[in-house]
A = this chain, B = another copy of it.
Amino acid sequence: MATKHFYPTIDGLVDQALLGTAASHPGLALLRSEKVLYAKNHPRSQVSVICGGGSGHEPAHAGFVGEGMLAAAVCGDVFASPSAKQVQKGCMAVPSDNGYILIVTNYTGDMLHFGLACEKMKAEGYKVGVVKAADDVAVGRKNGGMVGRRGLAGTIILDKILGSMASADCSYDEILGLGTAVGKSLVTISAGLDHCHVPGRTTAYGAIETNTLEIGMGIHNEPGVRTVTPIPPVDDLIAELLNYLIDPNDADRAYVPFEKTDEVVVLMNNLGGLSTLELRAATQATISGLKKHHGITPSRVVAGTFMTSLNAPAFAITLLNVTYAARESSVEAATILKYFDAPTDALSWPKTASYSSEAAVEELKNGEAEKTFAQDITVEPATLERKLRKACENIIEIEPKLTEWDTEMGDGDCGETIKAGAVALLALLDSGLAKTGSILRVVDAMVDITEDHMGGTLGAVFGIFFAALMSALVAAASTSSSAPIEQVLATATAEALASLRTHTPAKEGDRTVMDVMIPFSAAFEGGNVDKAAKAAKEAAEGTMKLMPKLGRATYVGGLAEKKLLPPDPGAWGVHELIQGLAD
């Protein structure tokens, strides 16, 4: 159980959170003394739809105030109902000429305090009604007895649909009618890895055991249906949760009937402490489970943080059977979905543009045509073939040394990585890569080799260099320059190195491949290959005097005491490549 907090107690916490929420949305105003967050410009002509309850369930309900959702949220302290006076003041903050609808979660305190506000306002001549949120299926009929089911994340679907209706200028009776039907068509069940913890309170209710999860846990740490040990595979868990929600043969539940062809909304709720990564994966598992076990393809899926239990690492699945709500209300299913989809500027309702189709998932088509180059740079094919083979052989021969040096200074894979590139190039040469003498074709192949056969940091560095070299050579080929091939290569090398340096901070002296590439490129400027190769050799030997500044080698202890280190294996590999090409 996560018992650490930035706030040591809940004293003043709700007040501060409401101020922070009001500051996050220009359309909101806070009636601070009453903990009422309301929409500043709520039109009197619209029915005021209001929700509320204890805090600790953020973003519920303050995060759902705004055009298209709630007119106001009335907040109690953590896990404590607001008073009837607060509820009344909340209503008065968003005056309506056409009535007030209170969405009330089915807990004793909320039902009585909102109920009291409702009756007081009725006594004063207002039109006020209550829509009860009681979507929990953890409590079966037998144990639920007369109190009935608790209000969970299904409440937020009521906030959305009823608020949307109010914005669409529906009447009080229409909203109350459909609200009651939607309320009857909601089911929710949770699965929790652990309890939440209230800042400053004891941990008397304890943590859930390491290898156990709890099904049906409430949003105030109320015990659930059962605990499961060990934690089951997610697909099994979801299958069980869906049974609690849907199974028509569960005599103690089956609160809402579901048919395969029903329009069903799925709401996945993070109870506060679950990673978004896991919530989103569980969303997919729920979609799959609904299809597999119940033949249901949901019409809408929303996933996010709606009604939390502070920091509880848990999620809940809510289903709204839109088709059933339509039957219970004589409002068409398509109309109910239209209310669900309508835009809102409430802070915490996720954006869901109007739905038109199922999730689109593509698999990548393979197969690319072999590249040809309109303008090419060519050399004598046999020479090209010989130089490339020599470079590869140099690298394969020196590989054991590179590996030895890298084992001392790094993670030991440098030699193998460079060798893998050389082996791949030899294989392509065997397939006739150099047979046309095209430099562009070879450089293009090198880009793929670095990515497909080398990988890691070194592969990426070489890949960027060869890709940028390719750009420079393609540009050079398209000009009608008569410069000798060595000069073209030298200029392109300098340009490619400049591009590479925009992607890596490594510079000369950092004991990386750049310690050879930079002096090589500089010496190559006039197109003299031998001079450049000599500079590369000296630079590779010079890495023996350099301390590492980047990457894993920086963590090797006792380096400062050593006068001479092995050469940098990457830099040495580049030097061997260059010697082969210059040969």
Residue of B nearest to A12 (CB): B281
Which of B113, B311, B468, B549 is within 8 Å of A273, CB to CB? B311
- Give the distance to chain B from A369, nearest Cβ to Cβ, in Å: 13
Inter-chain CA distance A403–B218, complex, in Å, is: 32
- Give the distance to chain B from A464, nearest Cβ to Cβ, in Å: 5
Query: Is there a chain B Cβ closer than 8 Å to A423's Cβ?
Result: no
Inter-chain CA distance A456–B304, complex, in Å, is: 34
Using Cβ atoms and an 8 Å threshold, which residues of chain B touch A213? 4, 6
Q: Is the interface of A mostly helix, strand, loop or mixed?
A: mixed
> What is the copy number of this chain in the assembly?
2
Known contacts being A281-B17, A313-B311, A464-B116, is A360 close to B7, with CB within 8 Å?
no
Query: Is there a chain B Cβ closer than 8 Å to A224's Cβ?
Result: no
- Give the distance to chain B from A51, nearest Cβ to Cβ, in Å: 16
Using Cβ atoms and an 8 Å threshold, which residues of chain B touch A28? 359-360
Inter-chain CA distance A120–B471, complex, in Å, is: 8
**When the two chains form their complex, are residues B112 and A457 in contact, meaning their CB atoms are under 8 A apart?**
yes
**When the two chains form their complex, are residues B510 and A451 in contact, meaning their CB atoms are under 8 A apart?**
no
Query: Is there a chain B Cβ closer than 8 Å to A442's Cβ?
Result: no
**When the two chains form their complex, are residues A7 and B281 in contact, meaning their CB atoms are under 8 A apart?**
yes
Q: Which of A111, A112, A213, A349 has the most CB of B within 10 A?
A: A112
Inter-chain CA distance A21–B353, complex, in Å, is: 14
1/0 per residue A3-20: CB within 8 Å of B? 011111000011011111
Known contacts being A29-B360, A32-B362, is A122 close to B468, with CB within 8 Å?
yes
Using Cβ atoms and an 8 Å threshold, which residues of chain B touch A354? 26
Residue of B nearest to A34 (CB): B364
Residue of B nearest to A281 (CB): B16
- Give the distance to chain B from A81, nearest Cβ to Cβ, in Å: 9
Category for how many chain A residues contact B: 35 or more
Query: Is there a chain B Cβ closer than 8 Å to A55's Cβ?
Result: yes
Using Cβ atoms and an 8 Å threshold, which residues of chain B touch A229? none
Known contacts being A17-B281, A29-B362, is A503 close to B351, with CB within 8 Å?
no
**When the two chains form their complex, are residues B360 and A502 in contact, meaning their CB atoms are under 8 A apart?**
no
Query: Is there a chain B Cβ closer than 8 Å to A109's Cβ?
Result: yes
**When the two chains form their complex, are residues A56 and B277 in contact, meaning their CB atoms are under 8 A apart?**
yes
Which of B147, B356, B504 is within 8 Å of A111, CB to CB? B504
Inter-chain CA distance A56–B14, complex, in Å, is: 30
1/0 per residue A430-465: CB within 8 Å of B? 000000000000001001001100010100110110
**When the two chains form their complex, are residues A308 and B276 in contact, meaning their CB atoms are under 8 A apart?**
yes
Query: Is there a chain B Cβ closer than 8 Å to A227's Cβ?
Result: no
Using Cβ atoms and an 8 Å threshold, which residues of chain B touch A20? 268, 279-285, 287, 301, 303
**When the two chains form their complex, are residues A24 and B344 in contact, meaning their CB atoms are under 8 A apart?**
no
Inter-chain CA distance A304–B447, complex, in Å, is: 41
1/0 per residue A171-213: CB within 8 Å of B? 0000000000000000000010110100100000000001001
Using Cβ atoms and an 8 Å threshold, which residues of chain B touch A467? 116, 119-120, 122-123
Known contacts being A16-B281, A24-B302, A287-B20, is A347 close to B351, with CB within 8 Å?
yes
- List CB contacts (< 8 Å) of A63-88 with chain B: 63, 66-67, 78, 83-85
Query: Is there a chain B Cβ closer than 8 Å to A108's Cβ?
Result: yes
Inter-chain CA distance A231–B353, complex, in Å, is: 43
- Give the distance to chain B from A86, nearest Cβ to Cβ, in Å: 10
**When the two chains form their complex, are residues A275 and B58 in contact, meaning their CB atoms are under 8 A apart?**
yes
Inter-chain CA distance A282–B7, complex, in Å, is: 9
**When the two chains form their complex, are residues A7 and B66 in contact, meaning their CB atoms are under 8 A apart?**
no
Which of B29, B234, B274, B549 is within 8 Å of A146, CB to CB? B549
Residue ranges of A at the interface with B (Cβ–Cβ < 8 Å): 2, 4-8, 13-14, 16-34, 40, 55-56, 58-59, 63, 66-67, 78, 83-85, 89, 108-109, 111-113, 115-116, 118-120, 122-123, 125, 130, 145-148, 191, 193-194, 196, 199, 210, 213, 231, 234, 237, 268, 272-285, 287, 301-305, 308, 310-311, 313, 315, 344-364, 444, 447, 450-451, 455, 457, 460-461, 463-464, 467-468, 470-471, 474, 499-500, 502-507, 510, 549-551
8 other A-B residue contacts (CB within 8 Å) besides A4-B210, A118-B503, A276-B305: A20-B268, A28-B359, A29-B359, A119-B471, A122-B467, A123-B467, A130-B502, A273-B273
Give the 5 A-B residue pairs with the shortest CB-CB distance, closest first: A115-B503, A112-B460, A20-B283, A119-B467, A20-B284
